[in-house]
Amino acid sequence: MHLHIVSFNVPWPADYGGVIDVFCRLKALVEAGVRVHLHCYTYGREKSKELAELCEEVCYYQRETGLRHQLERRPYIVASRNSERLIERLRQDDYPILLEGLHNCFVLERLADGRRKILVRAHNVEHDYYRALAHAEKYLWKKLFFLAESRKLEHYEPVLTKATCVLPISEKDAQHFVAIGCPQVMVLPPSHGHSRVVSPLGRGEYVLYQGNLSVPENIRAVEYIVRNLVSVTDYQFVVAGRDPGADLRHLLERYDNVTLVANPSEERMHGLLVGAQVNILVTDQATGVKLKLMNALYESRFCLVNGKMVEGTGLGEACVVADTPEQMLQSLERLMTAEFTEDERRRREKVLVKGDSLEDLKNILF
C-alpha cells in the first residue's frame, strides 16, 4: 500500500493544530502498513530527520510567497503552492494521493482524470475561516487581505468536486461539501495521537486556557476570559501558548490571579492539562474542530466552552456549554468545586471514541 501525502507545511515538529492533524494521521497510516511518500511545502521550517525515518521518501518544495502570487486569480494559499516538480514526481506512478487542505489543490487541477484516486482533507470550509479571520483582525490591511482571500477561496472551492473523496473534519462541514456537489464526502475526525481518555480523577488547582497566543482569534478569547472571569473571581488562571505579544503580556500582568506560560514544551503543556480543574475554551469562529479541545478532553478534567467551539462537532456532550458571561461564571463556580469521577471519564470516552476512521480511510484509498 503506497500513498502520496501532500502537506501544506512540514508536519514536524507537530506543535500546532493543522500539522498535528497531518502528522498524527501520517504516523497512524505508517503504523497500519501504508508506505507513505511525503511531499511538503517549506516556509519557516527545516527538513526533518523524524519524517525521513517514518516515510519511504520525503520531498521538499519551496513555497513561493510574495506580492505576485497575492495578485493572482487563485487564492494565495493555492497560488503559492504550485510546484511543477511536484507534479512531475506524482506522474511517475499511479499511487493514490491525499492532499492536506484546499491549499494543495493545484495538484487536483492538474492530475484529476477520473481514474486516479485523489482525496482532499478539508481542514475547514476555508472561505468561512478566512472571513472569520478578517472579522477578528484589528489591522486594516490584514483585514482587507483576509476578505479578498475569502472571496477567492469561495470562487475556487468547486475544484473539490473533481476529488475522489473530500474528508471534512465535522458533520457541519460535510453538509457544506455535499451541497456544493462533491461526489463523495466522508467525515474524518481530527488525528490527535490519543488512543484513550487519561483525564485525571479528583480535583485540579486552576483554570486553564491554551492556544497560539499570536493568533487574533485566541487573543480575543483571552481578552474575553480576563474581562468576564479573571477580573471578577479569585480563582487562579493559567494562560499558556505560543508567542504572546507585548499587549497580551501587559493585560495579564495587571491581575494577580493569572499566570502566563509562554511557549511551553510538550511536557510542560501535558503537566498543565493534568493539573487543571477546568479548561476554558471560547471562540467566535465556528470552523473545524479545535485540536486544543481534543487535547483537553483526552488529558484534562472539565471543559467549559461556548457553543461555537463545539458547533457541528458532536463534542458538546463531553463539555459544559455556556454562551453568555453570566452562564460562563455560574458554570465555572459549579465546576471548580466538583470532583472529576470515573463515571465522567467513561461518559467522555463514549463520546470521543466512535468507530475506526483510519480503517474507513484505508478502504477508500486502497
- Ordered by where they begin, the domains of the chain are 2-192 (3.40.50.2000), 206-352 (3.40.50.2000)
Catalogue the E-assigned strands of the chain.
2-7, 35-42, 57-62, 97-100, 118-122, 165-168, 206-210, 237-241, 258-262, 276-281, 302-305, 320-321
Cα torsion 349, 350, 353, 355 to 10°: value is: 160
Q: Residue holding cell 520525503?
A: 58
pLDDT score for 288: 59
Task: Name the 3-class secondary structure at 205.
Answer: coil
Under 8 Å between Cβ of 105 and 41? no
CA atoms of 312 and 362, how far apart (whole Å) = 25
- List the chain pLDDT tens, one digit each, 366 residues: 999 999 999 999 887 778 889 999 999 999 999 999 999 999 888 999 999 999 999 999 999 988 888 889 999 999 999 999 999 999 999 999 999 999 999 999 999 998 999 999 999 999 999 998 898 888 899 999 999 999 999 999 999 999 999 999 888 899 999 999 999 999 998 888 787 899 999 999 999 999 989 888 899 999 999 999 999 999 999 999 999 999 999 999 999 999 999 999 989 999 999 999 999 999 987 765 678 898 999 999 999 999 999 887 788 999 999 999 999 999 999 999 999 999 999 999 988 876 557 888 999 999
Please give the Cα distance from 84 to 14 (Å, whole number): 27
Quick one: angle between helices 126-136 and 140-156, nearest 10? 170
Cis before residue 168, ω within 30 degrees of 0?
no
Q: Is 89 helix (H, G, I), strand (E, B) or coil?
A: helix
Residue 41: how many other CB atoms lie within 10 Å: 23
Considering only CA atoms, which of 310, 320, 316 is closest in space to residue 277? Answer: 320
The single-letter DSSP state of residue 185 is: B
Question: 283: how many CB neighbours lie within 10 A of its CB?
Answer: 23
Looking up cell 487563485 gives: 74
- Distances, alpha carbon 185 to alpha carbons 99, 235, 304, in Å: 14, 45, 31
Would you state the cell numbers that stand for residue 22, as one nine-digit string?
497531518
The answer to whether the beta carbons of residues 96 and 365 sit under 8 Å apart is: yes
Instruction: Return d(Cα 215, Cα 203) in angstroms, integer.
Output: 31
In one letter, which amino acid is 96? P
Q: Do residues 364 and 164 lie in contact, with contact meaning Cβ atoms separated by under 8 Å?
A: yes
